[in-house]
Amino acid sequence: MEIGFIGVGNMGLPMSRRLLAAGHRLIVCDLDPTRVRQLADDGAETVATPGAVGDRVETIFTSLPSPAALEAVTLGPDGVSSGKRARRVIDTSTVGPQTSRRVAAGLATAGIALIDAPVSGGAGGATSGTLAVMVAAAADERDVAEPILSELGRVFTVGDEPGMGQVMKLANNYLAATALAATSEAIVYGVKAGLDPSVMIDVLNAGSGRNSATVDKFPRSVLPGTFDYGFAVGLMCKDLRLFASSAEDLGVPQWIASAVRNYWQFSCDQLGDDADFTRIVQPLEAWAGVEARAHHGAPAG
């Protein structure tokens, strides 16, 4: 199948490679010429604009960093909606339900369907094809999209309308953000009291404190001090803002979410938008005067 792919960043690049490996022909577009060249070397064809992608293929993936980027790529000047062949956009971005519904309505005026399909599992999951894919679209469009999406991971149908996939993704990322923030605080607490952080993680993973941060993020990126998980602090802050906006629209209280969002925003201010999100342990470490690394839990400095 000939497929378009717009946005080949940390997630889009490995997803594109999975589709190429599955035998699909790819037409790619991105603002980063280095990423585009990498995919061209892998056998993809490249074009300069989203509109050019829409002129070439019926099915187009998007993996974009913000609501504004999705709206520009789909509905802006020389966007996908101006393409002569485009029939559906499979959006794997995290943009919130309001934007997803707004883009779906705009694309519909051009006869293009939006398949809301955000993903979870990070760059590692994108590379290995083990993402969780949360699909919301009309049944006939799901029938087209799901065989392709299955190349990327496990597909879950969460609804019939664009926006419902976004709700599921925001709930997922809120819980992931909460687990990482709370685990960071708990581990720094233990290290300050004299515990070994590696032993703490082992105990937590054998007990009731087990969560996505103790199982994956701490062993992989925090304890070894590599901080290379591949997701930015600024993107998680964006997702938490989207969660807050959507929850407020629905009248859902945010007692815990408010505290989590405040700490993430503080960390973003301290570390910068582009820092790996596993670095959110570092402001806590600085306060406590310890480092939560494998084999040394002694006070820093």
Catalytic residues: 169
Residue 293's beta-bridge partner residues?
A: 296
SS3 223: coil
200 contacts 246 by C-beta, under 8 angstroms: no
CA distance 182 to 46: 43
Six-digit token string for 20: 């190429």
What is the residue-wise DSSP string for 132-171? EEEEES-HHHHHHHHHHHTTTEEEEEEESSTTHHHHHHHH
115 contacts 88 by C-beta, under 8 angstroms: yes
Q: Tell me the one-letter amino acid at 198.
A: S
C-alpha angle with apex 269: 264 to 275, nearest 5 degrees? 75
